[in-house]
């Protein structure tokens, strides 16, 4: 490997495979070394999710409880009111979250709801929190309006490798996702983009997913790594317990080595990871989590149990994330 911790955009599949497959101790040492070069090792950025529009989505993502194609028992709800989002933001802030991630079960935002979304960005930002939205595909005007409203991050996951993509989603393409990410990146909004482990993909698909991010002109500022939460009624409901925790930790560590300055988020799936596995994720370079007992529609550890875990590990909740600090001092 060229020099450790160097920011590169020319990773080969063979290099990434070699990083991910090396002996566990070597990988942990390497990833943690890169982590310490770039971040305060005992600090974790805290984001809280709010599902601003639940269910009834036109897309067929095989993992998702919110697709209208599957009978998952989830009730479709209309868009949340701005005041309700503001209340949730205040509660999240009081518990220590620095970023509110607002998600909508849309293929793309519609004309009627979009102005409300912009208002949500403004009110949450006025609270002094970072804002993140995940609304599906965007056109140029929508990206410009979100930037204008002050959006800090846009989440748009690639989920898996280009080769495996059509096994998971057929209603949009990998290229559609890349196009939205490219628009967001060019607008100056920070990109949050990651994937899901445990959907039946092969090792090489994990390598290729990470290679796509690592070889972008700019690494995403935030890289969420989700462990599939198998949802009853979805095509991937039977995937429960299919992923070895060490494999998941290896993906986190490899993301850290490839993207030394990005926040790597230990995202969905923490209910299936015991405290020891989560501790390894933090050591391997994860420095962001979703905090609060709900993700979008599925369970996440109780905030109190995360506080206990942080205490045991001597981890601190980051008071302000790096992007915000840089912005304020610019
Ligand atoms: N509709 C928008 C979109 O798909 O971009 C935003 C919301 S969508 C629920 C956000 C992301 O959540 C997905 O891209 C996927 O990576 C993740 N996700 C959804 N369901 C999941 C599950 N059951 N397990 C793990 N991750 C999941
Ligand atoms: C991300 O990568 N994971 C979050 C967030 N970005 C939007 C969503 C996880 C959803 C898990 C399944 C659910 O709760 O519906
Ligand atoms: Fe819709 Fe997003 Fe779920 Fe896919 S992941 S079905 S786009 S809400």
Pocket test for ligand 2, best of 136, 221, 222, 296 (most atoms within 8 A of CB): 296
The pLDDT tens digits for 37-95 are 999 999 999 999 999 999 999 999 999 999 999 999 998 999 999 999 999 999 999 99
CA of 134 to the centre of ligand 2 (A): 10
Closest-CA residue, ligand 1 atom 14, reads 157
Shortest CA distance to 173 belongs to which of 185, 183, 164, 184?
164
pLDDT above 70 (res 162): yes
Name the pTM for this structure: 0.96
In a domain, 295, yes or no: yes
Are the CB atoms for 146 and 189 separated by under 8 Å?
yes
Angle at 191 between CA 172 and CA 18, to 5 degrees: 85
142 lines ligand 2 (CB under 6 A): no
Q: CA torsion, points 197, 4, 324, 119, in degrees to nearest 10?
A: -30
Dist. CA 35–CA 77, nearest whole Å? 41
CA of 188 to the centre of ligand 1 (A): 23
Q: Report which DSSP code applies to 228.
A: P
The pLDDT tens digits for 211-227 are 999 999 999 999 999 99
In a domain, 5, yes or no: no
Residue with tokens 């529609």: 297
In a domain, 130, yes or no: yes
pLDDT above 90 (res 153): yes
| Catalytic residue, candidates 99, 172, 177, 192 | 192
Look at residue 1 in the predicted model and tell me its pLDDT: 59
Which atom of ligand 2 lies nearest, measured to the CA of 300? 14
CA of 186 to the centre of ligand 2 (A): 24
In a domain, 325, yes or no: yes
| Catalytic residue, candidates 99, 132, 211, 256 | 132
| Catalytic residue, candidates 57, 177, 256, 281 | 57
CA of 6 to the centre of ligand 2 (A): 30
Are the CB atoms for 140 and 182 separated by under 8 Å?
no
Query: Which stretches does DSSP call E strand in the chain?
Result: 43-53, 99-104, 130-134, 153-155, 190-192, 195-197, 222-227, 263-266, 286-290, 316-317
295 lines ligand 2 (CB under 6 A): yes
205 lines ligand 3 (CB under 6 A): no
Dist. CA 20–CA 27, nearest whole Å? 7
CA of 224 to the centre of ligand 2 (A): 9
CA of 64 to the centre of ligand 1 (A): 6
Any idea what the CATH number is for the domain that residue 162 is in?
A: 3.20.20.70
Task: Give the pLDDT mean for 101-125.
Answer: 97
In a domain, 1, yes or no: no
pLDDT above 70 (res 324): no
Pocket test for ligand 3, best of 50, 52, 57 (most atoms within 8 A of CB): 57
Is 64 annotated in the active site? yes
Radius of gyration for the chain, computed over Cα atoms and rounded to the nearest angstrom: 18
Count of structural domains, the chain: 1
In a domain, 4, yes or no: no
Q: How far is CA 74 from the centre of its chain?
A: 22
Dist. CA 65–CA 77, nearest whole Å? 13
| 3-class secondary-structure state, position 299 | strand
Percentage of the chain with pLDDT > 90? Answer: 93
Closest-CA residue, ligand 3 atom 4, reads 61
146 lines ligand 1 (CB under 6 A): no
The pLDDT tens digits for 184-193 are 999 999 999 9
Which atom of ligand 3 lies nearest, measured to the CA of 136? 7
Phi, psi of 200 (to 5 degrees): 90, 5
In a domain, 324, yes or no: yes
In a domain, 3, yes or no: no
Is 132 annotated in the active site? yes
Look at residue 329 in the predicted model and tell me its pLDDT: 52
Are the CB atoms for 57 and 297 separated by under 8 Å?
no
Alpha helices in 40-81 (DSSP H): none
pLDDT band at 241 (very low <50, low <70, confident <90, very high): confident
How high does pLDDT run on average in the chain?
Answer: 95
The pLDDT tens digits for 280-291 are 999 999 999 999
Is 281 annotated in the active site? no
Are the CB atoms for 309 and 278 separated by under 8 Å?
yes
Is 192 annotated in the active site? yes
**Domain ranges, residue 17:** 13-329
Are the CB atoms for 266 and 289 separated by under 8 Å?
yes
């Amino acid at each position: 490997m060229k020099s450790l911790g160097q920011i590169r955009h020319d990773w080969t599949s063979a290099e990434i495979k070699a990083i991910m497959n090396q002996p566990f101790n070597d990988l942990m040492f390497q990833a943690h070394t890169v982590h310490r070069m770039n971040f305060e090792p005992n600090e974790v950025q805290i984001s809280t999710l709010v599902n601003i529009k639940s269910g009834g989505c036109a897309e067929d993502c095989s993992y998702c409880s919110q697709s209208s194609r599957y009978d998952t028992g989830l009730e479709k709800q209309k868009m949340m009111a701005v005041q309700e989002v503001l209340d949730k933001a205040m509660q999240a802030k009081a518990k220590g979250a620095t970023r509110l991630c607002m998600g909508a079960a849309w293929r793309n935002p519609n004309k009627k709801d979009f102005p409300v979304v912009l208002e949500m960005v403004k009110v949450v930002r006025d609270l002094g929190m970072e804002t993140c939205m995940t609304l599906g595909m965007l056109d140029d005007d929508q990206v410009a309006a979100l930037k204008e409203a002050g959006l800090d991050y846009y989440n748009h996951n690639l989920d898996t490798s280009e080769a495996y993509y059509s096994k998971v989603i057929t209603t949009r393409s990998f290229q559609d996702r890349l196009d939205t990410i490219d628009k967001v990146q060019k607008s100056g909004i920070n990109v949050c983009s990651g994937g899901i482990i445990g959907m039946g993909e092969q090792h090489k698909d994990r390598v290729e997913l990470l290679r796509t991010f690592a070889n972008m002109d700019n690494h995403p500022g935030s890289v969420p790594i989700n462990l599939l939460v198998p949802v009853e009624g979805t095509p991937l409901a039977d995937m429960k317990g299919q992923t070895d925790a060490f494999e998941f930790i290896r993906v986190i560590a490899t993301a850290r080595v490839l993207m030394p300055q990005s926040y790597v988020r230990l995202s969905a799936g923490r209910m299936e990871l015991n405290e020891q596995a989560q501790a390894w994720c933090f050591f391997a370079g994860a420095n962001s989590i979703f905090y609060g007992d709900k993700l979008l529609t599925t369970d996440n550890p109780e905030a109190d149990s995360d506080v206990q875990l942080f205490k045991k590990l001597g981890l601190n909740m980051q008071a302000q994330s790096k992007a915000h600090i840089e912005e304020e001092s610019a």
